[in-house]
């Protein structure tokens, strides 16, 4: 039987490549995407590049779009916190809706698969992809397609905004442990506990993101102060 081939337009291919580059960190938050550079990179005309950038804008990944290109969003803790609360609400709701699924064992088996992928992940990109798939299982079984589509759209932005939360091996292990606790509670049919653990999991992530964000802000402030002090000294000399 022949394999099914999914045809993509040039703009779709560029869009998917750029999203992967953003998720992997090849393109950083706050970076500028210029039409000319992207045209040279992909050897295409301006039209598919503009279409791809417009799709990124609709996803909420850019903060401004101009004729020359666009600039990606920067980390904003307040925005990240609000978005995290929104996704956490949807995720905990998806847990409860999934509990009415007749075949919860099949659901749990899928959760185990992505737990293992998180544990075996060699890169942050692989870990975040497995994390996304884990949570998506609940949305796949929740019976609400609008919740599922909303999660897919906004979780990507949330992932970018809380990359600060996964900095060390210990933090990754904490995330894996939290996922396993959620799975165990769900498998034991203690759905209220699974819901509470899901909410706590999201709050833990945003708290770690906040701590790392503040650490980064402090480092930048210290460097700026040192730089200014250095300039002052040079002027005195």
pTM: 0.75
Our CA dihedral for 55, 61, 65, 70, rounded to 10 degrees, sits at -100
Query: Domain for residue 231, yes or no?
Result: no
H helix or E strand, kind and range, residue 162 = none
46 and 137 part of one domain:
no
Q: Which of 58, 31, 53 is nearest to 42 (CA)?
A: 53
64 and 90 part of one domain:
no
pLDDT at 216: 61
**Structural domain ending residue among the three candidates 72, 97, 126:** 72
86 and 184 part of one domain:
yes
pLDDT at 165: 65
pLDDT at 97: 97
Query: Domain for residue 61, yes or no?
Result: yes
Query: CATH number for the domain including 25?
Result: 1.10.10.10
pLDDT at 227: 44
88 and 138 part of one domain:
yes
* Structure tokens, 212: 């790392």
pLDDT at 191: 97
Query: Domain for residue 224, yes or no?
Result: no
66 and 98 part of one domain:
no
Query: Domain for residue 2, yes or no?
Result: no
Average pLDDT across each block of 10 residues of the chain; the chain has 237 residues. List them in order: 62 91 83 94 93 90 86 82 92 96 93 96 85 94 94 81 72 93 97 97 87 60 44 32
**Structural domain ending residue among the three candidates 54, 72, 90:** 72
How many domains, the chain?
A: 2
The residue with tokens 């992809």 is 129
Domain that holds residue 29: 10-72
CB 38 within 8 Å of CB 14: yes
66 and 95 part of one domain:
no
Query: Domain for residue 222, yes or no?
Result: no
pLDDT at 117: 96
pLDDT at 2: 52
């Amino acid at each position: 039987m022949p394999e099914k081939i999914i045809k993509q337009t040039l703009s779709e291919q560029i869009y998917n490549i750029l999203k992967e580059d953003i998720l992997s960190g090849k393109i950083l938050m706050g970076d500028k995407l210029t039409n000319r550079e992207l045209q040279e990179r992909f050897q295409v005309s301006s039209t598919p590049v503009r279409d791809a950038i417009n799709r990124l804008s609709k996803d909420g990944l850019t903060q401004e779009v101009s004729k020359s290109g666009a600039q990606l969003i920067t980390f904003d803790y307040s925005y990240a916190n609000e978005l995290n609360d929104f996704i956490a609400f949807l995720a905990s709701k998806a847990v409860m809706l999934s509990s009415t699924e007749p075949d919860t064992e099949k659901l749990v088996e899928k959760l185990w698969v992505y737990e293992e992928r998180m544990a075996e992940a060699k890169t942050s990109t692989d870990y975040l992809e497995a994390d996304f798939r884990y949570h998506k299982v609940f949305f796949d079984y929740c019976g609400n397609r609008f919740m599922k589509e909303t999660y897919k759209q906004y979780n990507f932005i949330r992932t970018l905004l809380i990359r600060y939360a996964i900095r060390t091996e210990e933090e990754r292990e904490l995330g894996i442990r939290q996922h396993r606790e959620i799975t165990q509670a769900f498998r034991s049919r203690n759905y209220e506990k699974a819901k509470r653990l899901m909410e706590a999991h999201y709050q833990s992530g945003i708290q770690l993101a906040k701590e790392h964000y503040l650490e980064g802000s402090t480092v930048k402030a210290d460097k700026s102060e040192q730089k200014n002090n250095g300039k002052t000294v040079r002027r005195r000399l």
